[in-house]
Amino acid sequence: MIKVFDNVLNLGELEAFASDMNMLAGVITCPHTDRLLKSIIIEDSLNNLRPRANCLKTGIDYNVNANEIKRILDERDVKMHDASHFGQWLTKRHFPESLQKIISKNPVELKGVEWWGYDSIDVKVDGKIAIPVHVDYDGGLEMLTGEVVCPELTYVFYDMVDEDLEGGDLVIYETDRNNIIDTIKPKSNRLIVFSGGLPHEVLSFNGRRRSYIILPWKNRPREFL
């Protein structure tokens, strides 16, 4: 399943969305629990923090103390603020109205979303592909158990794309990764929704575009427990 929606938000909503997501950038879980997870050091909380730290740094000793776990999480915070992209979890009750409107274009049962923001200029890898073929899945669960679980849907929303952008098409494949189902150009205020298990890639481009990948989950992904 692939759907494309244009002119998803009006001008005011588009501005609100950019402001809302910028405010949320760097919040690992949600506004109410982020500080709590990193400050409480009772054993029950450590049991929750250790798997998350293990997802961020493979092979972490499960006997590691609270200060080391907090250091790993804080290190991730710095990287997320410094990088051009970041990923985090947001529970449904914390959705800004603008985000809720985007998801309502193709609603699905969810507890919250994992979301990634990319603000990129002239992205090239080997002169061909900006983001290689991949599927979206719970990376923390796969790292810990080897199980690959995909979200029901993947939402890709472009809130800002240069009019003279060259390239940057989203290419979606059948599950065998051999046959292309569709190639879709990025465009400001465009939403693309497709089945979560479909492989996809982004072609290299010249110019600037800002996009958000939104993954709805019925259960919080392992990395964000």
pTM of the prediction?
Answer: 0.74
Return per-residue pLDDT of the chain as tens, 225 residues: 999 999 999 999 999 998 888 877 755 444 434 444 444 444 444 455 444 444 444 444 445 555 665 565 555 444 333 334 456 788 888 888 999 999 999 999 999 998 888 887 655 555 555 778 889 888 777 767 778 889 999 999 999 999 988 889 999 999 988 899 999 999 999 999 999 999 999 988 888 888 999 999 998 887 666
CB contact at 8 A, 132 and 200:
no
Q: Please report the pLDDT score of residue 69 as a whole number.
A: 54
Q: Please report the pLDDT score of residue 152 as a whole number.
A: 94
DSSP 8-class letter at 93: G
Domain extent listing, the chain = 2-30+85-224
141-58-82 Cα angle (round to 5): 95
Pairing between β-strand 208-217 and β-strand 112-121 as defined by DSSP bridges: antiparallel
56 exposed, middle or buried (CB, 10 Å; 0-12, 13-18, 19+)? middle
Q: Please report the pLDDT score of residue 27 as a whole number.
A: 53
Q: What is the largest CA-CA distance in the chain?
A: 54
Q: What is the CATH number of domain 2-30+85-224?
A: 2.60.120.620
Q: Please report the pLDDT score of residue 225 as a whole number.
A: 61
Q: Please report the pLDDT score of residue 39 as a whole number.
A: 46
Q: HSE on the CB side for 79, CA within 13 Å? A: 11
Bridge partners (DSSP) of residue 90 are 113
Question: Which CA distances in Å does 146 have to 39, 48, 69, 137, 223?
Answer: 30, 19, 23, 12, 14
Sole residue written with tokens 């929303």: 157
Residue type, 126: D
Q: What number of other Cβ atoms are within 10 A of residue 216's Cβ? A: 22
13 three-state secondary structure: helix
Q: Please report the pLDDT score of residue 53 as a whole number.
A: 42
Distance of alpha carbon 81 from alpha carbon 26, whole angstroms? 6
